[in-house]
Structure 1
Amino acid sequence: MTSSGHTGEERRAWYRLTPADRAALRECGYERTWLPGEILALEGSPPSGMYVILAGWVKITARNYRGDDAPLAARGPGEIVGELSPISELARSATITALDNVRTLVVPRDRLVTLLTTHPHIAQELLRTTGIRLHQSDRLRLDSGGSDFVQRLAAVLLELSVQYSPEWANVGEVNLNVTHDDLAGYARVSRRTLLRGLEELRRLKVVATARHRVTILDADLLRELAAGSYPSDT
């Protein structure tokens, strides 16, 4: 899985930047707060700027061929989002929505483009972030395509855990702020199929569920299930 070879600081671009780089971004931008459900950037809108998440979580979604908002990723503190459109000068390819109270550093497009020419290390880290996310996206597509759904769901939850908490292997629990509809979208199954899979994972005491939340209780067993190893006593 993606967690190998990456520490938390390596995975989140803001923490990989030098103090001078972070100071330069702060000088070019401004802070703004967002309430749960507020949209930071709308798919198809002009590339106004990029966002550094300082606190809280956002959800990245895009319209699929049916016209539904399909979840792509969740991003938290230390992540930089919405950076590709200002660089490419193309319309937004996804919508960014606050999951809870979110505080961001907003860097307007014109200032960002100028800054990247004078601070090449920022450009390098944004490129590295893009590479990491492409890898995550590839993993989610692969992990959601297996024939055994419990294994597929475990693999998707494992990958989302890495996105939510890069150091997740060293903590007791990981809380994923994700709805059942979003999780069904990640796993590419119906809501009914998802609920059956979650019921089995709850029975195995791998996860606990609540409104808009899935809590990973047993990281080791989740890894085993994702690898296709089912507990023998079940």
Structure 2
Amino acid sequence: MGLLGDELAFGRALTAPEYESVIALGHRKQYPADASLLTEGDRTGHVVIMNRGWATVSRTTDRGTTRLILGLRGPGELLGEMAALDNHPRSATVRALGTVEATVIGGDAFRRFLATHPRVSGLVIRQLTFRLRSADQERSALASLTVLQRLASRLTELSGATAPGPYAPPVPGTGHHGVVVHLAQDELAATVGATREAVAKALRLLRAQNIVRTGTRMVEILDPELLALLAEGHRE
């Protein structure tokens, strides 16, 4: 399972001159927490490059009453490229997870830039391929893993020591001894395709084994090794 973007985000894969040229195409914009950067179903064609902050990528389920979080996007990530390239409605909603600063680039300007910069065009294709593969892995996990396994896998991913994300390492004097993931239970449920009740039950099991500790909008990882084993389907 993979919620975070490509290890080498679009913005960080560009050379300095390429990055400056791309950023010069658009304008900077700040989004408050919970604001929509892009909205599912819209027929807009601009793209967004994240400069600071994090955002969730989600779409409504077939029933139309719940949402499934498909990914977390952070600094350097390119968003909205599919609609910019194929002129179809937006396939997902991107919502700010805290304050976000981004560069907004019109679709026409972005397409013209790609036409004259084949290396950058190749990076966009690589990103699309990576996200399609990640989506296939997510569908496989939904079909084959339990909620506990999916949750353990997600928490392991988000708390990885080398992975960027909405988490924080332990800080002296805070009372936290492990990595803290700052997501509410309903948000965690949306990242693993489960109900909030099912995730709450899985978290109770993890708390009972002293693997995690929970609080308001946070899950502290106390035993990352055992959590990783659960994610892989092992049993004690």
Report TM bin, short chain. Answer: 0.7 to 0.9
- Is this contact kept in 2: 1:146–1:152, CA < 8 A? no
User: In the alignment, what sits opposite 2:48?
Assistant: 51
Give every structure 1 segment of 4 or more consecutive aligned residues whose post-TM-superposition deviation is greater than 4 Å: 159-162, 171-175
Indicate how the Cα distance of structure 1 residues 2 and 57 shifts in structure 2: closer, same or farther if over 3 A, else same: closer
- How do 1:1-12 and structure 2 match up within 5 A? 10-12=7-9
User: In the alignment, what sits opposite 1:120?
Assistant: 118
Q: How far has the Cα of 1:25 moved from its partner?
A: 0.7
Q: 2:142 aligns with which of 135, 141, 144?
A: 144
* Other structure's SS at 1:62 match: strand
Q: 1:79 aligns with which of 77, 80, 84?
A: 77
User: In the alignment, what sits opposite 1:101?
Assistant: 99
Query: Percent identity between the aligned chains?
Result: 30
In the alignment, is residue 133 of structure 1 matched against residue 138 of structure 2? Answer: no
Indicate how the Cα distance of structure 1 residues 19 and 41 shifts in structure 2: closer, same or farther if over 3 A, else same: same
Q: Write out per-residue CA displacement over residues 99-147 of structure 1, whole angstroms, 9 at most, x where no aligned residue.
A: 1010111111111011001111221111111222222222222223335
Indicate how the Cα distance of structure 1 residues 16 and 161 shifts in structure 2: closer, same or farther if over 3 A, else same: farther
- How do 1:69-218 and structure 2 match up within 5 A? 69-146=67-144, 148-160=146-158, 165=163, 174-218=179-223
- Count of aligned pairs: 224
Distance 2:117 2:220 in 1: 40
The alignment's TM-score, normalised by the length of structure 2, stands at 0.82
- Is this contact kept in 2: 1:184–1:194, CA < 8 A? yes
CA RMSD in angstroms comes to 2.8
Structure 1, unmatched stretches of 5+, are none
Distance 1:39 1:103 in 2: 12
- Is this contact kept in 1: 2:47–2:84, CA < 8 A? yes
Distance 2:157 2:140 in 1: 11
Stretch of structure 1 that moved more, 31-40 or 214-223: 214-223
- Is this contact kept in 1: 2:147–2:194, CA < 8 A? no
Name the structure where helix makes up a greater proportion of residues.
1
Q: How far has the Cα of 1:197 moved from its partner?
A: 0.4
Q: How far has the Cα of 1:20 moved from its partner?
A: 1.6
User: In the alignment, what sits opposite 1:16?
Assistant: 13
Q: How far has the Cα of 1:35 moved from its partner?
A: 0.3
Q: Write out per-residue CA displacement over residues 142-185 of structure 1, whole angstroms, 9 at most, x where no aligned residue.
A: 223335442232123334557x92599xx775544433223223
- Is this contact kept in 2: 1:165–1:174, CA < 8 A? no
Indicate how the Cα distance of structure 1 residues 155 and 139 shifts in structure 2: closer, same or farther if over 3 A, else same: farther
Indicate how the Cα distance of structure 1 residues 218 and 20 shifts in structure 2: closer, same or farther if over 3 A, else same: farther
User: In the alignment, what sits opposite 2:175?
Assistant: none
Distance 2:125 2:203 in 1: 36
Distance 1:184 1:62 in 2: 14
Stretch of structure 1 that moved more, 85-94 or 11-20: 11-20
Structure 2, unmatched stretches of 5+, are 171-177
* Other structure's SS at 2:144 match: coil
